[in-house]
Structure formats: structure tokens, C-alpha cells
Amino acid sequence: MRVLSSLLAAFFLLCLGSTLAVASTASTENVNAQMEADVTTIAPGDSFNVVLKMDIRKHWHTYWINPGDAGEPTHINWTLPQGVTAGAIQWPVPKTIALGPLINYGYEGEAIYIVTINTAPEIALGQDLNFAAHVTWLVCEDICIPEEGRFTFSVQTGDTTTANPAWDKVAKSAIAAMAKPDPGIVTGASLKGETLTYSFVGTGLNNVRKAYFFPVDTGAVRHAEPQQISRGPNGFTLWTKPGFRAKDGVNDPVDGILTVDGKAVTLSVQPGPAPVGSGADILPGSKTEAKGGGALLQALLFAFIGGVILNLMPCVFPVLSMKAMGFVTRAHDEASEIRRHGILFLVGVLVSFLSLGGLLIALKASGQQIGWGFQLQYPPFVAALALLFFVLGLMLLGFLHFGGRFMGMGSELAASGGNSGAFFTGVLAVVVASPCTAPAMGWALGYTLTQGAGITLLVFAALGLGFGAPFFALSFFPSLLRLLPKPGDWMVRFGQLMAFPMFAAAVWLVWVLEGQAGSIGVAAVLATMVLIAFAIWAAKGERAGKISAVIAGIAAVWVLWSGLNGKDASALEPQVWAPGVAETLVAQDHVVFVDFTADWCVTCQVNERLALSRAKVQRAFKKANAVYLVGDWTNRNDDIARELAKHGRAGVPLYLVYQPGRDQPQVLPQLLTEGIVISAIKRP
């Protein structure tokens, strides 16, 4: 009987322990949340941890304390017993979550939050401490849904603190995975122009492969901008763009989490100059292993090699390979004249490259962070480059004989007078080559732009020497011409094939221009291409055709200038949604577009940037006499919640279009395009 009693007592204690280990739970369609303490009893004056564990539906996510471009962090509202205080949420290390043009910070799959609870020494022994927590969180996929859970649990006071085995293990594992401070890291943050740098120096930071800084302040950085890394002998620097609170400089410490090759550190980046050896004087992507004179020699060598390879790039080779043969073979087969032309060609190349290097130095001195592709930051240059590639493509397909005119300028001058033609052929060769890049150029130019003006010009000179070397060699060693394939039909076919990379480059540049000058700028470039094609066709006619070509050329210049200096239509002017407003406006013969959105809704922000803010959509609203109503659900609103439920939605976004004469509104997809919006608001 005594044995049976012992077994029953053991079974009872086992069941009691299992009951104590069961957490308070709250489940939704997207999140299964559990909350429990990591102790069963607590000695007065001690502290313990509360664990909030969220299992998140696949493809959905919740948010960190700084949600990034959109979102809302998890909040806990406590109801605590007397003599007890709760600390702040201890957040797990976040990850970047991309959606369209936005970058958010948060968690997928699982998130475990820790909150430390402190008890007063005066709390009486032998009582139950009853806790209640109201937790709210935002969960998003294509739509964002605010969710909540209510949790209760108890901890008994006693002489000693006793762990809750299951949840103590979860808490210790979560705390071990969290970011830890490292007082040995020295930091610096500064803003120069539009470039924000965070620099870090410390033990083990000189050989970092991958790093990312998550600032707690939502306005510290532009979250969608990449964080590029440059490495120094003692640490590294992250390069990005400032957020709205850093646009005038970094004046206060920036708290955050730094992830370095899978490890996470909590720290506070101090405003001020970068610590020595952090790589802040090296542009991202530059190679820094070589130091001093070795780095310079390596840069000169790579620049020379890059210049040689530049001759083989698609935008250069079809023109310059034939030009080299052209100006060499037209020199009356006299060795002295061939050499003189070769020298003048090389001088033209060097003057052009040194001029480009001087321009880069001047822009750098003005405070701009620039590199080899700095031209692509300026819409007029991007437009001109797109048109150049378009015209080159027409030339290579044989629709335009540019080789004997513009691109053959140097050869014609050489044939007519001689020396000036060879020089300007070199100048023109660099103009054609400047949009291209080649292997070995990248890090050499990156190293160059961190040095003084003298070294910068020296490396650009090496680049020019490499670019001009093949033509210079041909002029001093004409016998090398025999190594080239004999002219034939292959040259025509190869030139035609090279037209398609030109057109592809033009398409890419027009895409780049869309982000800089908007749809009007793109339309202007496309219209200019049409006018150029017409001018080329008309110029082949008689006098009237040539006059038409001139008029088309003037019109092309005017259209391009007007488009690049024009502005998109003004943004939509929203009115506040309220129950009954849409119906009233429809009765007044208005088309009504209702946008149920929220600041924390990622999909909403993407739709606003990619569809609703477009000039075509704005013009369509004006044409349809449509009214734009916004139901802002950033803060909970029961009227909006009821309207969402009425249309079968649990969260935003929700887009409704009311048309006069129709009983029910049209419900649009959660992901919008210009075409979807324009088609929906168009009057029948």
C-alpha cells in the first residue's frame, strides 16, 4: 500500500510539473503565440524572464523594434501585481525582408522575445503573483493584418527561485542567440554629401566578409539603400544613404545591432571621424590588401590591363578595330608618317582620359562620392548615352553610315591634312569607350579615387596608355597587321551582331532614366529616338527631305530638353474616408477610388510608389473626375474594420472603386499596377 501511495504521489507531482510547464497561448490564422515564465517560484528580490514565443505562418513575417520602410513592432501591455516591474522587450536579431522597393526588418518562421521581471524584496512569501499581458503584433505577407493575444500566468513566491524546466531552456537558448555588447569595438559615423558611413574597428574585424547594421532609430538610414562595405587593416566601413533624421548630419549616437559574418553585436555608433584603419578612405569594392607603393604599382598595372581590355568591349570594338586599320593603312605606307599618327592618336587618348580624371577629381573635391560611372547619376547624360547607343545600333545594322562621318572623323581629317585627324581620332575613341568598363578597372579606379590628385591622374594616364597601346603598337610595327583576320563578310555580320548589345544598353539606360526623370523623361527620349530615325530616313531624300531632316533634328532637341526639364503631374489629393462619403460622392456623379491603407502596411507602400503615384494614374483620375478617398488604418478604427469585414478582408490593403450607376463597388487586387488602376476608374 505504501508503494502504491508513493507511485500516486510521484504521478501527481509529474502531472503538476507538466501543468506548470504549459504556457498561456493565443492563436490566430497566422501566428501561434505562447507566453510563460522561466520559473515556477521566485524568491522576493530576485528577477526572472518571461518568454513570448511566436510561430509564424510560412511566407508571413512580423517586425523588429525598427520595422524598416514599413511595419509595426510587437507591443506588450502588462497588468502586474504590486511590487513587480517589467523591463523592455529584449529583441532577437532581425533579418532584412525585401518586398518590392522596400526593405523591412523582422522575423520569419519563429520569433522569441524575452522580458525581464523584477520583484521587490518586500513581497510576502507563499502568494501567487498573477500576470496578464495584452500583446499586439502586425503580421504581413501580401496584406498586413494587426493581431493580438491576451495571456495570463502565475508565479508563486517562495524561499528560493525554482526554474520552470521547459521554459527555462527556451529562455536560455533565446538569450544566447541574442546580440551581445562588445566594448572593444571603436566606432565612428559621419555624413559627407549624400553618403553616410558607419565605421567599426576592433579585434577580428579586419577580415570581415559580410556585415549589416540595423539601427534602432527608424530615421537613421534609408532602409532600401544597400550597405556597401570597404575593408581596412583594423576594421571596416559600411556606406549607405542617410534617413530623414540624419540628412543634416550625425549628431547623436546611433544604437543598433551589427551583424558580422553571422554573429551579432549590440553597440552605439558614435558621431565623429572614422577610427584609423576602418577602411573609410577606401571606396566600397576596392582591394586593400596591397599597401603603399605596392598598391600604387598594382593599381597602375591593373589600370593598364583594364585599358587594353577596354578595346574589346562591345561598345568599343566594332568601331575602334576598324578605325585602327583605317588610319594606319591610309598613311601612304610610309613608316615615319605611320609612327607620327600613332603617337598623335595616343596623345589624343591620354588628353581625353586625363580630362576625365580631372573632372572626377573636381567632383570629388566638391563633396560628391563618385566613381567611374558617376555620369549615370545625371539624367541628361543618361538620355544622351541612350540615344548614342540607339544611333550606334542603327549604324551597325547599316541604316546609318556613321563610320564614314562622325565615327570616321579622325580618318577623314588624317586623309585630308594628317596630324590633327590622328589626334581627334584618339579623342573620339575615348568618347565612345567612356560608357564601358572592363575587368581589372574596378578596384584600380576605386583605389585611385581615395588618393590625391597626382596619383589619380597617374592611374588615369595608365588607363589611357593601356587603351591606346594596341593602336600605338600597330603604328610602330605595321607587320602586326598581318595577324588580323582578312577583311570579309564576317566583319559585316559581326558588326550587325554588335548592334543588339547597343539596343539592349539603350533599353537599360531608358529604364535607369525612368527612376530619375519619371515617365515624362522616358517619353521624351523615346520620342527623340523616333525623330532621329525619321531624320535619318528623310536625309536620304532630295532637298525637301534634307530640310525635313533638319526640322526633325531641331524638334528632337526641343522634345528631349522639354521632357528632361518637365515634371510629372502633381500627386493625388486624398480626402478622408468615412462611412457614407463614397456613396454621397457617387450620387454627385464622381468616380470614387477608396484606398484602405496604413503606414505599417508594406504592400500599401509598394502600391503607392509603383502605381498610385504615377503620372499616368494621376492624369487618369483627372480625366475621369475621380475622387481619391483614403481610409487610414495606421491606428485601429472600428469603422474601417467593419468595412474591411464587409468585403471579406481581415487587413489592409483594400481598394474599392465606385462607379456611378453601379450598385456595388469593384474590389481591386491587393497588388496594383498602373493599368489595373486606370482601367478600374475609367468611365464605362
pLDDT digits (tens, 9 = 90+) for 498-516: 677 778 777 877 876 766 6
Tell me which amino acid residue 272 is: G
Distance from C-alpha of 115 to C-alpha of 85, rounded to nearest angstrom: 10
pLDDT at 362 > cutoff 80: no
Q: At what angle do helices 317-329 and 453-476 cross, to 10 degrees?
A: 50
| pLDDT tens track for 111-125 | 999 999 999 999 999
Bond before 73 cis per omega within 30 degrees: no
One-letter amino acid for residue 467 of the chain: F
- The answer, yes or no, to whether residue 284 has pLDDT greater than 70, is yes
| Secondary structure (H, E, C), 527-569 | HHHHHHHHHHHHCCCCHHHHHHHHHHHHHHHHHHHHHHHCCCC
Question: Position of cell 456623379?
Answer: 589
408 pLDDT more than 60: no
Nine-digit cell string for 203? 579585434
Spatial distance between the Cα atoms of 475 and 465, rounded to a whole number of angstroms = 14
The packing angle between helices 379-396 and 499-538, to 10°, is 90
- Cell numbers for 574, please give them: 486624398
Residue 227 has pLDDT above 60, yes or no: yes
Residue 229 Cα to chain centre, angstroms: 14
Q: Which three cell numbers stand for residue 617?
A: 494614374
| Residue indicated by cell numbers 507563499 | 126
At 388, give phi and psi (nearest 5°): -60, -45
The count of other CB atoms within 10 Å of the CB of residue 360 is: 23
pLDDT digits (tens, 9 = 90+) for 531-544: 888 887 777 777 77
The closest of 227, 196, 191 to 210, measured between CA atoms, is 227
What is the grid cell recorded at 212? 549589416
Q: Across-strand partners of 591?
A: 626
Burial (CB count <10 Å: 0-12, 13-18, 19+), residue 655? buried
pLDDT of res. 102: 84
Domains, the chain, ordered by start:
19-178 (2.60.40.1250), 181-269 (2.60.40), 292-562 (no CATH), 575-681 (3.40.30.10)
Q: Where are the alpha helices (H) located in 279-418, listed in sequence order?
A: 292-310, 317-329, 335-365, 379-396, 409-416
